[in-house]
Amino acid sequence: MTDKQTGGALAGFRVIDLTRVLGGPFCTQLLSDHGAEVIKVEPPQGDEVRDWGPPFKDGLSAYFSGVNRNKRSVGLDLRTTRGQEILFQLLEGADVMIDNSKSGSLEKWGIGYEDILAKRFPRLIYCSITGFGADGPFGGFPGYDAVAQALSGQISVNGSPETGPTRIGVPIIDLATGLYASIGILMAAEERHHSGLGQRVDASLFDTGVALLHPQAANYFMSGKAPVLTGNSHPNISPYEQYPTKQGRLFLAIGNDRQFRLLAEVLGQPEWASDPRFLHNSDRVEHRGALNALIIAALREHTAAAVSATLLSKGAPAGAVLTIPEVAEHPHTRHREMVVELDGYRGTGIPIKMGRTPGSIHSTPPHYGSATRDILAGLGYDRGQVDDLIADGVAFTERAKPPA
User: What are the tens digits of pLDDT across the range 336-356?
Assistant: 999 999 999 999 999 999 999
Q: Which fold has domain 14-212+341-348+358-396?
A: Rossmann fold (3.40.50)
Contact yes or no for 166/159 (Cβ under 8 A):
yes
Q: Tell me if residue 124 falls in helix, strand or coil.
A: coil
Give pLDDT tens digits for 39-63: 999 999 999 999 999 999 999 999 9
pLDDT average, residue stretch 238-249: 97
Q: Which residues pair with 200 in a beta bridge?
A: 126
pLDDT average, residue stretch 80-101: 97
Q: Beta-carbon neighbour count of residue 378 at 10 Å?
A: 12
Q: Whole-angstrom Cα distance, residue 51 to residue 60?
A: 8
Nearest to 242 by CA among 229, 227, 230: 230
**From-to residues of CATH 3.30.1540.10 in the chain:** 240-244+249-320
Q: What pLDDT, on a 0 to 100 scale, did the predictor assign at position 7?
A: 83
pLDDT at 4 > cutoff 60 = no
User: In 234-280, which residue ranges form alpha helices assigned H by DSSP?
Assistant: 257-266
**From-to residues of CATH 3.40.50.10540 in the chain:** 14-212+341-348+358-396
Question: pTM value?
Answer: 0.92
pLDDT average, residue stretch 237-261: 97
Q: Which residues in 245-399 belong to E strands, given as ranges?
A: 249-253, 318-320, 339-342, 345-348, 395-396
The amino acid that residue 270 corresponds to is P
Q: How far, CA to CA in Å, does 195 sit from each of 113, 188, 190, 191, 323?
A: 18, 10, 9, 6, 49
Q: Beta-carbon neighbour count of residue 75 at 10 Å?
A: 25
Torsion angle of C-alpha atoms 218, 221, 224, 225, degrees rounded to 10: 20
pLDDT class of 262 with cuts at 50, 70, 90: very high
pLDDT average, residue stretch 385-400: 97
Catalytic hit among 145, 174, 343, 392: 174
pLDDT average, residue stretch 388-393: 98
Q: Which residues pair with 76 in a beta bridge?
A: 395
Q: Whole-angstrom Cα distance, residue 259 to residue 311?
A: 9
pLDDT at 1 > cutoff 60 = no
Q: What pLDDT, on a 0 to 100 scale, did the predictor assign at position 154?
A: 96
Q: What pLDDT, on a 0 to 100 scale, did the predictor assign at position 84?
A: 97
Pick the CATH number of 240-244+249-320 from 3.30.1540.10, 3.40.50.1000, 3.40.190.10, 3.30.930.10: 3.30.1540.10
Q: What pLDDT, on a 0 to 100 scale, did the predictor assign at position 401?
A: 86
Q: What pLDDT, on a 0 to 100 scale, did the predictor assign at position 6?
A: 55
Give pLDDT tens digits for 196-210: 999 999 999 999 999
Q: What pLDDT, on a 0 to 100 scale, did the predictor assign at position 402?
A: 77
pLDDT average, residue stretch 256-284: 97
Is position 174 annotated as part of the catalytic site? yes
Give pLDDT tens digits for 175-188: 999 999 999 999 99
